[in-house]
A and B are shown apart, each in its own frame.
Chain A
Amino acid sequence: MHTIDRKISPAFKTVEKIEMIKASEVRLNNKIPVYSINAGSQELIRIEFLFSAGMYQQEVPLQATTVNAMIEEGTSKLNASQIADMVDYYGAFLETGVSQDSASVVLYTLNKHLNATLPVLEQIIKNSVFPQQELDTHIRNKKQKFHVNNQKVAILARKRFTELLFGEKHPYGINVKETDFDAVNREMLNNFYSKYYRANSCKIILAGKVNDDVFTLLNNHFGGNDWVAQNDLGRKKIEIFSDSQHQHLVHKHDALQSAIRIGKIMFNKTHPDFQKFQFLNTVFGGYFGSRLMSNIREDKGYTYGIGSGLVSLKNSGYFFISTEVGVDVCKNAIDEIYFEMNRLREELVPQEELELVKNYLLGTFLRSVDGPFSMADRFKGIMEYDLDYDYFDKYIETIKGVSATELRDLANVYFDKNSMIELVVGKK
């Protein structure tokens, strides 16, 4: 056996080519677009129904989330326990979720049980009735959860922070209050459901083993004109009112740690600076080796974790820094955050770090398109913004091409301390 020099790192290759299966599109008889990623070797499929029924569409707090969460709690033909029995019996999983801009109902099933599980999904999506008794239970339990969550500094901070950024009236900034739970009623749920959970607001994304049978079944259950609505789903743009005050504190007397959130309104994926800013954000706080982690966790030990991110929303976007730190080092941690921001405004990112982040991001992108579900998620991320697959080509070009000077210029435009909203929940 020959000896090796363990001090020298092995040669490596930069990711050159990223293979990605693109979604193919067909339409059901009633024009619902069905996008599919046919990949993977297991006999399973994920069927995602996506509706324009997110927070942005709701008229009152909790409307979008309650409709979505209760969609499997009873239809005109099946009660909640029958629905649950049918889904569970075939080993399927039903997943519901609401984001700022959309709502989804997702079925995970083995292909061999698709025949048995799709009829249940059809019931839920077309004929939910939100029974009063189930609603009472749901609200009672959610209220309890709300009280528990209100003791967590991280959750309090997250809710208050978006309220400060967007304004309390804006659907992206809505900070739910206890009284909002009492105001939920069946009528507002039915209104929202019958307006937005409709064929003309629906898109279907398939991932996994997709064969022709799937399309036939989908057409049988969802391709009819019985659930096409004639209403106009457009909603006018709502103004954003960020808080004019720079610093905010929510005092919690018994806190051992304070949650810190710092950030500002930015833009979404369609903005020309978005991808370059994603790169800058990675250097700053977007991965384990970031400036924030290296300084505030790995050098000072102030926190278990710190990170930053750029959130893209259909009608806006925002930048945030997020961490929980010991109350005694809260002020120091905030100073260090601004110190790192300034460093990116004043100094060029060294070549070695720049190369590292380039390779890291290419590897991350490779991981993010691995497997049918991941590829479908990436597709969803462009489809929602009416972007094409060339968005990813540009992303790779941006990663490979971005220079230290460009990053410094970008930091000077966006990393302005005075433009940031700063929130501490706990003690300062």
Chain B
Amino acid sequence: MIKFKRFELENGLRIIVHQDKSTPLACLNILYDVGARDENPEQTGFAHLFEHLMFGGSVNIPSYDEPLQRVGGENNAFTTNDITNYYLTLPAENLETGFWLESDRMLSLAFSEKSLEVQRNVVIEEFKQRYLNQPYGDVWLLLRPMAYKVHPYLWDTIGKEISHIENAKIADVKNFFAKFYCPNNAIMVVAGNVELDEVKRLAEKYFASIPKGPDNKRNLPIEPFQTEARSLTVERDVPVDAIYKAYHMCSRYDKEYYTIDLISDVLSQGNSSRLHNTLIKSKKLFSDLHAYVMGDFDKGLFVVSGKLSKGVTMEEADNAIMEELEKLKSEFVSNNELTKVKNKVEATHVFGEVEVLNKATNLAVSELLGNADIINNEVGKYLSVTIEQIKEQANLIFRKENCSTLYYKSKNN
């Protein structure tokens, strides 16, 4: 059970406080409700580029990192298709420095041309390092536009292409900031060795004067139901053939999400899982094979991906995966198997409560999903899943016409 208190400033900033006296640290997690899905299709990769620019100095403070390091703090951030999340930890007695830094960059950035130019280059190198100069690095650049035709999940957080990043202008940066980086579009979690009254005082002092921004009603195109199987074959200079199958599934808000997440555990959590035992160990068709849900907020994807053993054809591999998925449609999983994946969820949840930063980030995401308390009743939702629900969802999802398959072939084979 993670206890917390919640309050809101007049400008719409939501604040959650979680006290944990066992740590000498405090952490401050600020989640902005903006991700790659909110980008203009002609300016993709912008939310992530913007995350880099948030470290390029704010209106009153020329450097973000330096003053934080000076008080013993450390920070980082990440961007997904749904959110941009910033977090810092520091010795609890220096919490005010965190408020000072975060509030100033929420107030306004410095918008320096030099910072934009440098971070464009850094992000282009990141694009090369993680997506282009890496075996199988471009998989998501291929798979997303296959699975999605209209919803912005069709591009990756890094962007569709390097030119979108190269063409970013300072005016675009300013517009993006004005629209999304405002108090009413953010959730702040303060956790660790902190006192509620002190957090309230600091929040008033540093954040209350930041003006409210526009109301952003998200109105994203809805992905139409997929009605026929899609596939793409590519050849690349990689040593081993690989296959990726992506099925459409529900959103993170739907109650079915928990059932589907457990399906992925039955298939692929741990060495006792079905795919590991049957297709890697027993039939030896794959050298590695995984099933997972992407965890997207809007209607998302259930993915099965693996690397083929030498001599195995794509067709054999594909059929073997489908055969395993078919079993979930025609037979109930055993009670034992269901208890096993539920026990794992329960343990993972308890282990997740060890680190204060982890708790802070999870509280922020839960609040965005509707209520910070989700963090405390999620396990219950997993525990209530039945074998009937698993079979029902398997039948809804694992249909050929609901699937996009990427055959990623080795040139050398």
Contacts and interface: CB of A to CB of B under 8 A. Distances in A.
Interface of A: 1, 3-4, 6-7, 9-15, 18-19, 39-44, 72, 80-81, 83-85, 87-93, 108-110, 134, 137, 140-141, 144-145, 147-148, 150-153, 254-257, 287-289, 297-304, 324-326, 355-357, 359-360, 362-364, 366-367, 370-373
Contacts of B204: 1
30 contacts: A6-B61, A9-B100, A10-B99, A12-B94, A15-B72, A18-B24, A19-B24, A80-B271, A81-B272, A81-B281, A84-B272, A85-B272, A91-B345, A92-B347, A110-B350, A137-B281, A144-B239, A144-B240, A151-B237, A257-B128, A289-B65, A289-B66, A298-B118, A300-B121, A301-B120, A304-B123, A363-B73, A363-B90, A366-B91, A371-B355
Nearest to B131: A256
Contacts of A83: 271
A9 to B, nearest CB: 5
Given A289-B69, A371-B355, A366 B271 contact: no
B91 A15 contact: yes
A356 B281 contact: no
A91 B61 contact: no
B107 interface: yes
A99 to B, nearest CB: 22
A248 B345 CA distance: 49
A323 to B, nearest CB: 10
Given A148-B238, A372-B354, A304 B271 contact: no
Contact of B94 (A13, A145, A288, A371): A13
Given A1-B204, A90-B343, A110-B350, A147 B24 contact: no
B121 A302 contact: yes
A12 B284 contact: no
Across the A-B interface, give the 5 residue pairs with the lowest CB-CB distance, nearest first.
A363-B72, A301-B121, A91-B347, A84-B271, A147-B239
Nearest to B96: A10
A287 B75 CA distance: 11
Nearest to A11: B96
Contacts of A89: 272, 336, 339-340, 343
B122 A301 contact: yes
A89 to B, nearest CB: 5
B66 A356 contact: yes
Interface in B247-284: 269-273, 276-277, 280-281, 284
Contact of A304 (B96, B117, B129): B129
A84 B287 CA distance: 18
Contacts of A303: 122, 125
Nearest to B412: A147
B174 interface: no
A87 B120 contact: no
Contacts of B350: 42-44, 110
A12 B347 contact: no
Interface string B100-123: 100110010000000001111111
Given A19-B24, A41-B22, A303-B122, A364 B72 contact: yes
Interface in B314-373: 336, 339-340, 343-348, 350-351, 353-356
A44 B287 contact: no
Contacts of A359: 69-72
Interface residues of B, number: 84
B125 A84 contact: no
A238 to B, nearest CB: 33
B263 to A, nearest CB: 16
A82 B413 CA distance: 36
A40 B22 contact: yes
Nearest to B122: A301
Interface stretch (B29-37, B144-152, B205-213): B205-213
B61 A7 contact: yes
Nearest to B72: A363
B346 A91 contact: yes
B219 interface: no
A253 B285 CA distance: 32
Contacts of A6: 59-61, 100, 103-104, 107
B310 interface: yes
Contacts of A134: 281
A424 to B, nearest CB: 14
A370 B117 CA distance: 38
B70 A12 contact: yes
B295 interface: no
A137 B282 CA distance: 9
A10 B97 contact: yes
B294 to A, nearest CB: 23
Contacts of A10: 96-97, 99-100
Nearest to B353: A42
A4 B107 CA distance: 13
Given A301-B118, A304-B125, A91 B310 contact: no
A257 B277 CA distance: 38
Given A326-B125, A366-B25, 20 more contacts: A12-B94, A12-B97, A13-B91, A14-B72, A41-B22, A81-B271, A87-B272, A88-B270, A88-B344, A90-B343, A91-B347, A110-B346, A110-B347, A137-B281, A256-B128, A301-B122, A324-B125, A325-B125, A357-B69, A363-B74
Given A6-B104, A148-B135, A304-B126, A363 B272 contact: no
